[in-house]
Copies of this chain bind each other. A is one copy, B any other.
């Protein structure tokens, strides 16, 4: 399907926006009026700039507060419209978005609205322009998409149709199945935006928090399916107002928008996700010698070394960590650089990721090495899709049994501008499902956190962004599933007490006030959480080494969370020690 995007969705001046949008592979744009008004190029120049870039101008928008007004206001509105039609002719745009009237002076009379829109459509026809009438969620009288359609049908003019905007429909909780009552040829345009569920004024929600399909909580695929079932054959067009996108790179935002539309199309086409990983194959850390001691203390052993690279394999149970002394550490020391995922079809997984515009990484490898297919996550972390062949490169070490059984989850701290992009990446490329989204206090700001999991829980990722001031530490961590955190903590407390993150006694005073827990937890520095269904969570943290620390976690009784309530305690202790 044809793919478009409104210029307001990306940052920059209008020429910069057009270039970024074209580079991302879009077919067309909606010209947002303010972008044109602020542009020194004439409409003719914008038209030819767009044409040179291979972009059609699919829509000009918005035209506000037109319909259902007293006669004297109508005259001025028609005069205003005539001027806009002339601009559109110069621009080569033939579709104008008219938003439902929000003025307190608008009259609640559908017949009047229809009559005036019919008049407008007639004038538009003289300029070869068609009108797409849209119900804003905060329209004065018309704020439901079916109401807008009723008015359009009453007006009954070939140059008048409706524009559907997923945000305006879904933010009000309207059921999009009613779209199937609209003849496809009367749906003149479809604007797509997702959004997180937020309890706030819908206007503010719309103006600041929209995001691309798949990044929020709306069912865009369901809505789009209804639009297609109605017979719509126009473009899928993104229209996003987002405070973060406004500040981000236009190229990156446009590419992410394109990714979201490809993913949406794939889900509509019933493309099955080929790449849901079955577990973590490994996590790879840049390390020049710091981590061996910590891993040994945790019960890991060095079970292999790469045949041709300075990379060691450390194992315990099914948990495998690669220590790479050639990869780049952070300026503070060790850093997480790559994640290996057990994939039933590594080649298919990379191909799927490529179809979603993820950068596929070149592999420099010795001729005898196992092929490893890798892509880059939004923050640059390398993601490898593995079968078991890669292990052969590290020799045949004896298995190491201990209390750690496997990697439970990996937590990555993202730059602010990549948070929504990362959510879409882990969902679209890896097939993870969003779990909880949280905001946690940090001593110097807030940590926003989004957890995602494969359907069976075998792969869990936590994506964080730290909105903090001075003293920002973008920690990453690897959480290791452990079948007896208390016993392991006892051993660590006895043998390596300095490796455990010290948990304040005050935490335990509170914990013991809330739950009847074993007093030994306090002595050991083990943290505890309980969910509403009786599930329990025992966990402990190591001190940090560079950007990295480890967590041992034990899930009891179906606990699905991450002990998020304890994270502020951890952050405060880490900051105090940093």
Q: Please list the residues of chain A having a beta carbon within 8 angstroms of any beta carbon in chain B.
A: 11-13, 16, 33-34, 36-43, 79-80, 83-84, 86-87, 198-201, 203-204, 243, 246-249, 417, 441-446, 467-470, 502, 504-507, 509-510, 512-514, 568-569, 571-573, 575-576
Report whether B507 and A87 are in contact in the complex, using a CB–CB cutoff of 8 Å: no
Q: Kindly state the separation between the CA atoms of A513 and B323 in the bound complex, as whole angstroms.
A: 66
Known interface pairs A13-B572, A38-B569; A43-B445 also in contact (CB < 8 Å): no
Report whether A505 and B201 are in contact in the complex, using a CB–CB cutoff of 8 Å: no
A84 to chain B: closest residue by CB: B513
Would you list 22 pairs from A and B whose C-beta atoms are within 8 A, ordered by A residue?
A12-B443, A37-B509, A38-B504, A38-B506, A38-B573, A39-B504, A39-B572, A40-B504, A40-B573, A40-B576, A42-B506, A79-B513, A198-B201, A199-B200, A199-B201, A199-B204, A200-B200, A243-B445, A247-B446, A247-B469, A248-B469, A249-B469
Report whether A13 and B446 are in contact in the complex, using a CB–CB cutoff of 8 Å: no
Total identical chains: 2
A199 contact set on B, CB distance < 8 A: 200-201, 203-204
Report whether A37 and B507 are in contact in the complex, using a CB–CB cutoff of 8 Å: yes
A12 contact set on B, CB distance < 8 A: 443-444
A513 contact set on B, CB distance < 8 A: 79-80, 83-84
Q: Kindly state the separation between the CA atoms of A468 and B502 in the bound complex, as whole angstroms.
A: 39
A243 contact set on B, CB distance < 8 A: 445-446, 467
Q: Kindly state the separation between the CA atoms of A508 and B427 in the bound complex, as whole angstroms.
A: 46
Known interface pairs A39-B572, A569-B38; A246-B506 also in contact (CB < 8 Å): no
Report whether B204 and A246 are in contact in the complex, using a CB–CB cutoff of 8 Å: no
Give the Cβ gap from A226 to chain B, nearest Cβ, in Å: 29
Q: Kindly state the separation between the CA atoms of A323 and B356 in the bound complex, as whole angstroms.
A: 57
Q: Kindly state the separation between the CA atoms of A544 and B139 in the bound complex, as whole angstroms.
A: 40
Report whether B573 and A506 are in contact in the complex, using a CB–CB cutoff of 8 Å: no
A507 to chain B: closest residue by CB: B37
A510 contact set on B, CB distance < 8 A: 33, 37, 83
Main secondary structure of the interface of A (DSSP, over half): helix
A468 contact set on B, CB distance < 8 A: 246-247
Q: Kindly state the separation between the CA atoms of A504 and B46 in the bound complex, as whole angstroms.
A: 13
Report whether A506 and B13 are in contact in the complex, using a CB–CB cutoff of 8 Å: no
Report whether B247 and A445 are in contact in the complex, using a CB–CB cutoff of 8 Å: yes
A441 to chain B: closest residue by CB: B34
A469 contact set on B, CB distance < 8 A: 11, 246-249, 417
A37 contact set on B, CB distance < 8 A: 504, 506-507, 509-510, 569
Report whether A13 and B576 are in contact in the complex, using a CB–CB cutoff of 8 Å: yes
A36 contact set on B, CB distance < 8 A: 506
Report whether B502 and A40 are in contact in the complex, using a CB–CB cutoff of 8 Å: yes
Q: Kindly state the separation between the CA atoms of A119 and B506 in the bound complex, as whole angstroms.
A: 26
Q: Kindly state the separation between the CA atoms of A203 and B468 in the bound complex, as whole angstroms.
A: 22
A468 to chain B: closest residue by CB: B247
Q: Kindly state the separation between the CA atoms of A34 and B468 in the bound complex, as whole angstroms.
A: 18
Q: Kindly state the separation between the CA atoms of A129 and B365 in the bound complex, as whole angstroms.
A: 70
Report whether B34 and A568 are in contact in the complex, using a CB–CB cutoff of 8 Å: yes
Report whether A514 and B247 are in contact in the complex, using a CB–CB cutoff of 8 Å: no
